[in-house]
Amino acid sequence: RTKEEGRGHYRLFEPEMKVAMQHRRTLEVELRRAAVAGEFEIFYQPVVSVPEREVVGHEALLRWRHPERGLVAPDRFIPLAEEIGVIEPISEWVLAQACTAAARHPGEGRIAVNLSAVQFTSRRSDLVKVVASALGASGLSPERLELEITETTLLRDTEGVLATLHALKALGVSIAMDDFGTGYSSLDYLRRFPFDRVKVDRSFIHKLARDNPPVLRALTDLCRAFSMHVTAEGVETEEQFAAIVASGYTEAQGFLFGRPAPREGNAPLRSGRL
Ligand code: C2E
Ligand code: MG
Ligand code: MG
Ligand code: MG
């Protein structure tokens, strides 16, 4: 009976909330099935040197090829994957795939992989071991691997995250602060955490290239003062490119140079573990 009464409450929010909840449940079931069915793929986006525009590496970006809905972007399923506890096996697969693909192409430079905040606080798996085994299994040299983290990771258990970052760096991999310029983007992050690179968020690049290029320059000066490399994200136009060249960026990513795309040898994820 309590269940019935509980249900009754939903009527207050109908119909939007009911539809949203049904959609979420469907997505959850499908997401758990997706891994087993091998529906995940990795797309790779080139990272180029500035101003030469030579490819110096790639970023691995997860995609879900849904049988009916087509290609689903990570922003639409990663938060849910984190919530329902399937992000870890998915992330481990991404890491293993990306390292293996990069190891097969020794001349291709760096491979960047995004990490979830959940991986830093997990009691189920040890991130440092996961990274070490992806390196070991693929034979990729650690200096070719860069791990990207966002502010969400830093907002959690600071001491724990700091210790994990140092342990990861001890493996020989590098660490990038992703999406800088969104959220708090505290300067204190740059002081406290051992980043090798800062990636300036696309929204920042777009607005500043148009309205206030001196701030784009100030950001590269700031990163350099912290001995960090700096990458401009989301460069779409020649005007934006000119602004980042003039502002001292040494690397860039964006549709102007190349969109994320699949590549040969992407084995589907098959795992009964989810
Ligand atoms: P991100 O790491 O900041 O990745 C950059 C995002 O910007 C990608 O979106 C990319 O497709 C998009 N992008 C690149 N250049 C341009 C441009 O010139 N213009 C525009 N408008 N967009 C551009 P995507 O692939 O949809 O990924 C979104 C976010 O999902 C990523 O942001 C990352 O935070 C997360 N993500 C992707 N793959 C993974 C993964 O394997 N694990 C985890 N935990 N997160 C992932
Ligand atoms: Mg990233
Ligand atoms: Mg980013
Ligand atoms: Mg992002």
- CA 148–ligand 2 middle distance (angstroms): 6
Distance set, CA 221 to CA 53, 93, 150, 182 (Å): 21, 37, 21, 19
Lowest mean pLDDT across 35-44, 112-121, 142-151, 251-260: 35-44
Query: How do residues 56-70 score in pLDDT, each as one tens digit?
Result: 999 999 999 999 999
User: From the CA of 234, which ligand is nearest?
Assistant: 1
Which pLDDT score is estimated for 116?
97
Sequence-separated (6 or more) residues with CB below 8 Å from residue 127? 115, 119, 120, 164, 168
Q: Are 213 and 247 in contact (CB under 8 A)?
A: yes
- CA 61–ligand 1 middle distance (angstroms): 6
Which pLDDT score is estimated for 125?
85
**Three-class DSSP labels, 31-69:** HHHHHHCCCEEEEEEEEEECCCCCEEEEEEEEEEEECCC
pLDDT classification of 14: cutoffs 50, 70, 90: confident
pLDDT classification of 271: cutoffs 50, 70, 90: very low
| 70 torsion bin: left (phi>0), alpha (psi -120 to 50), beta (else) | left
Which pLDDT score is estimated for 6?
52
Q: Specify the higher pLDDT residue, 260 or 85.
A: 260
Distance set, CA 114 to CA 38, 47, 98, 178 (Å): 20, 14, 11, 9
Q: Which ligand 1 atom sits closest to the C-alpha of 201?
A: 3
Which pLDDT score is estimated for 36?
82
pLDDT value at 1 more than 50? no
ipTM metric: 0.98
Query: How do residues 195-228 score in pLDDT, each as one tens digit?
Result: 999 999 999 999 999 999 999 999 999 999 999 9
Q: Count of residues for the chain?
A: 274
- CA 152–ligand 3 middle distance (angstroms): 13
pLDDT classification of 189: cutoffs 50, 70, 90: very high
pLDDT value at 266 more than 90? no
Q: Are 139 and 103 in contact (CB under 8 A)?
A: yes
- CA 12–ligand 4 middle distance (angstroms): 35
Mean pLDDT value across the chain: 91
Does the beta carbon of 181 sit less than 6 angstroms from any atom of ligand 1? no
Query: How do residues 128-167 score in pLDDT, each as one tens digit?
Result: 999 999 999 999 999 999 999 999 999 888 899 999 999 9
Which pLDDT score is estimated for 216?
97
Q: Which ligand 1 atom sits closest to the C-alpha of 260?
A: 11
| Average pLDDT for 231-248 | 98
Is the pTM of the predicted complex or chain greater than 0.90? yes
What is the spatial distance between Cα 49 and Cα 269, in angstroms, rounded to a whole number?
32
For residue 87, which phi and psi values (nearest 5 degrees)? -65, -30
Q: Are 39 and 69 in contact (CB under 8 A)?
A: no
| Average pLDDT for 80-84 | 92
For residue 200, which phi and psi values (nearest 5 degrees)? -80, 125
